[in-house]
Amino acid sequence: MLGKKGQASSVFELMIAGVVAFAILIILLTIVFKVDPDGGYSSARDVIGNSIKAASPSGQATIANFKLDKDGLIGVEDLAVKTSLDADSIFFLKGELGSNPAIEVSSSTPGKSYMKYSGTGITMSAMVLCKSTASALDESLPLLGDKYDFTATTAMDYCGDATPCCAVILKRQQ
């Protein structure tokens, strides 16, 4: 009988193997969920959509840095899906990025506004300003300061009678 292992030692070995396997699983899950392919920046659609929800129906929200990939295109239809607003209630403004030729902002038709980036990738931030009506937003935009050029912009052109009216104003990376 000497030299034979008892049943208790095989249960102990099984328990040790389980603990080691669990530790490896925890390490792997930590690595997988910590690695972000976008370098720590959130999806532009998600952060802009969440900020619109936070600022609507009347308020302001600042959007932390987000990344636009090459040929990245975000339309107000994309944001309308993420919020409870109509596409006619949202439009983009170049804001501080007016001099960047790689960023195209079109708001020519209500409900069809979009932002497109044609460079190799850019990190930027933005601000969302929502008011209950387009005329109230028109009164608020000039109050943001001289670094934004809103002289040719009227929210009435974009939102019309849609309520609320929200402007996504692009800014440089913070």
Q: Tens-of-pLDDT digits for all 174 residues of the chain?
A: 555 655 667 777 888 888 888 888 888 777 765 544 444 455 777 888 888 888 777 888 888 777 777 777 888 888 888 788 888 888 888 777 767 767 777 766 665 777 877 877 777 888 888 888 888 888 888 787 776 666 566 777 778 777 888 888 888 776
* Helix H or strand E encompassing 130: strand 121-131
Q: What is the pLDDT of residue 108?
A: 61
Name the residue among 125, 131, 130, 72 with its Cα closest to residue 103.
Answer: 72
Strands 90-93 and 165-171: parallel
Q: What is the pLDDT of residue 173?
A: 74
Structure tokens at 142: 């000039």
Q: What is the pLDDT of residue 139?
A: 84
Domain ranges of the chain: 8-37, 42-171
Structure tokens at 67: 């990344």
Q: HEC states along 95-123?
A: HHHCCCCCEEEECCCCCCCEEEECCCEEE
Cβ atoms of 131 and 55 closer than 8 Å: no
- pLDDT tens per residue across span 35-61: 444 444 557 778 888 888 887 778 888
